[in-house]
Amino acid sequence: MSISPQRRQEIIDALRRGTVPRNSLDAFAVGLGGFEAALDEELRKVSSVGSVFKAVRGEYGCGKTFFARWLADRARKLGFASAEVQVSETETPLHRLETVYRRLMERLSTADTPQGAWRNIVDGWFYALEEDVLAEGTVDANDEQVLLERTNELLEQRLAKVSSTAPTFSAALRGYRQAQACGDRAIADGILAWLAGQPNVAAAAKRSCGVKRDIDHFGALSFLQGVLIVLRDSGHPGLLLVLDEVETIQRVRSDVRDKSLNALRQLIDEVDSGRFPGLYLVITGTPAFYDGPQGIQRLEPLSQRLHVDFQTDARFDNPRAPQIRLPAFSLERLCLVGCKVRDIFQQHAQAPDRIAAMCDDAYVQNLAEAVAGKLGGKVGVAPRIFLKKLVTDILDRVDQFPEFDPREHYTLTMNDNELTTVERQAMGATDVDEIELET
């Protein structure tokens, strides 16, 4: 698969840092083919003003974050907006949906804007509204005041359903439009920030559009409805929202955990009820979160909604089910990913022939086996550090130094300060059964 130099650089730079790239993940995705048809069908459903909820389960290292970003990349290629929110006890507690909404808006991305796409989306929406008004043929394009008034009327019509529950959303959009028309950039920026859930917005900005308080837990859901309407009217068929690492709520106080589980149940029920047309909501978590006593089993209605029978052979898992299981990482998959990354690196390398000769499939397999061996034989823990070592220690050196031969000049080493907690646990284990995975 040939990719542009820019996309290649984004992928390689992310792997050097030991992180998951945000784009072009299909270039080295492995083992996800069985999900493609079902997920594409669900994306089409969302495009047709439907909504979908999906729970993704998998052990540490099986690629949950990779899967989520691969799906988001796939959605953006279809015109969707996307946002990935890391659930965190301190930064983004799940029981405070106003904080989840704020993080969503901060990370909102489209195919053209990698992050912080809210302003472009709103401006594009107002442009689309103006075009619809002019298409009516009753307003002169040069009459700015009448055009503004008619655009505001159309805005109210489009947001009528949201206005009944969150009138401040449409009021703020109207205020933003008015501030822009008056050339008051500071007020316009403040209103846009308030719409995105940001705290500490200047009082003058809020006063200008008649709002007072910040967005609360319940207001966040109504504002999400408004965002979905703006997205659709500005040419985006929907929003793919990923709530990653939801299992972190298992480690919070019991009262906070129960509130978080209830907030998740509320979100799922609202999606099922059709309140959020155009929303594809994805959560990721470990099996312990779905099956253990500190996870969704604590809330019976939530457990009932997400229950799927995983007792049958994984070959027959249903990708249309509300909860899907990612396959465990095998040594074969690890080698295949490594070979794909090598091929991507090679496409725009300084010395592609040397890379082909010095880092052939056999060497990639040897490195994969060595990394997995250092980690107690736990292949599922190996992908991150394996790909980082492959790019930084091997491919970069082969490409830059004509004398470098990895078989002769390289010995695999791993230091505690370059490993995650789970990777350190795996490396320190003397037996595979001693390895404890984070839950």
Do 106 and 254 belong together in one domain? Answer: yes
Q: Beta partners for 51?
A: 279
Expressed in angstroms, the distance from the first to the final Cα of the chain is 36
Question: Between helices 97-106 and 217-233, what is the axis angle to 10°?
Answer: 30
Six-digit token string for 116:
């912080």
Query: Distance (Å, rounded) from C-alpha 212 to C-alpha 376?
Result: 57
Q: Is 8 inside a domain boundary? A: no
429-438 b/e with 16+ CB inside 10 Å = b? Answer: beeeeebebb
Do 192 and 279 belong together in one domain? Answer: no
Q: Is 11 inside a domain boundary? A: no
Helix (H) or strand (E) holding 55: strand 51-57
Six-digit token string for 401:
């130094």
Query: Distance (Å, rounded) from C-alpha 359 to C-alpha 410?
Result: 12
C-alpha to C-alpha distances, 100 to 88, 188, 263, 269, 383, nearest whole angstrom = 10, 23, 11, 17, 29
The pLDDT of residue 389 is 96
Boundary of a domain, candidates 310, 325, 340: 325
Do 92 and 122 belong together in one domain? Answer: no
Do 389 and 338 belong together in one domain? Answer: yes
Do 342 and 270 belong together in one domain? Answer: no
Query: Distance (Å, rounded) from C-alpha 164 to C-alpha 112?
Result: 33
CB atoms within 10 A of CB 88: 15
Do 126 and 106 belong together in one domain? Answer: no
Query: Distance (Å, rounded) from C-alpha 298 to C-alpha 289?
Result: 10
**DSSP 8-state secondary structure symbol assigned to residue 391:** I
CB atoms within 10 A of CB 158: 21
Do 92 and 128 belong together in one domain? Answer: no
Q: Is 201 inside a domain boundary? A: yes
Six-digit token string for 437:
């995975």
Furthest CA-CA distance within the chain = 79
**DSSP 8-state secondary structure symbol assigned to residue 127:** H
Query: Distance (Å, rounded) from C-alpha 3 to C-alpha 7?
Result: 6
Six-digit token string for 396:
């970069």
Do 163 and 254 belong together in one domain? Answer: no
Contact 324, 317 (CB under 8 A): yes
**Strand runs (DSSP E) across 121-273, as ranges?**
239-244
Q: Is 339 inside a domain boundary? A: yes
C-alpha to C-alpha distances, 65 to 47, 112, 244, nearest whole angstrom = 23, 22, 7
Six-digit token string for 289:
């979160």
The pLDDT of residue 1 is 63
Q: How many CA atoms lie within 13 A of 38 on its CB side?
A: 15
Do 428 and 380 belong together in one domain? Answer: yes
Q: Is 229 inside a domain boundary? A: no
Do 400 and 362 belong together in one domain? Answer: yes
Do 297 and 390 belong together in one domain? Answer: no
Q: Is 9 inside a domain boundary? A: no
Query: Distance (Å, rounded) from C-alpha 375 to C-alpha 403?
Result: 30
Boundary of a domain, candidates 261, 293, 325: 325
Contact 34, 17 (CB under 8 A): no
**DSSP 8-state secondary structure symbol assigned to residue 279:** E
Number of separate domains in the chain: 3
- Domain with 194, as residue range(s), is 118-221
Comparing C-alpha atoms, which of 305, 365, 356 is closest to residue 332? 365
The pLDDT of residue 281 is 98
Contact 19, 388 (CB under 8 A): no
Six-digit token string for 253:
């106080």
Residue 278 gets the label, from left (phi > 0), alpha (psi -120 to 50) or beta, of: left
Comparing C-alpha atoms, which of 257, 339, 307 is closest to residue 87? 257
Instruction: Per residue of the chain (439 residues), give pLDDT as tens.
Output: 678 888 899 999 999 999 988 888 888 888 899 999 999 999 999 999 999 999 999 987 788 989 999 999 999 999 999 999 999 988 899 999 999 999 999 999 999 998 899 999 999 988 888 888 999 888 888 888 888 888 888 888 888 877 877 789 988 998 998 898 889 999 999 999 999 999 889 999 999 989 888 888 888 999 999 999 999 988 999 999 999 989 999 989 999 999 999 999 999 999 999 999 999 999 999 999 999 999 999 999 999 999 999 988 888 999 999 999 998 788 999 999 999 999 999 998 999 999 999 999 999 999 999 999 998 888 888 899 999 999 999 999 999 999 999 999 999 999 888 888 888 888 875 444 444 444 3
Q: Is 382 inside a domain boundary? A: yes
The pLDDT of residue 429 is 54
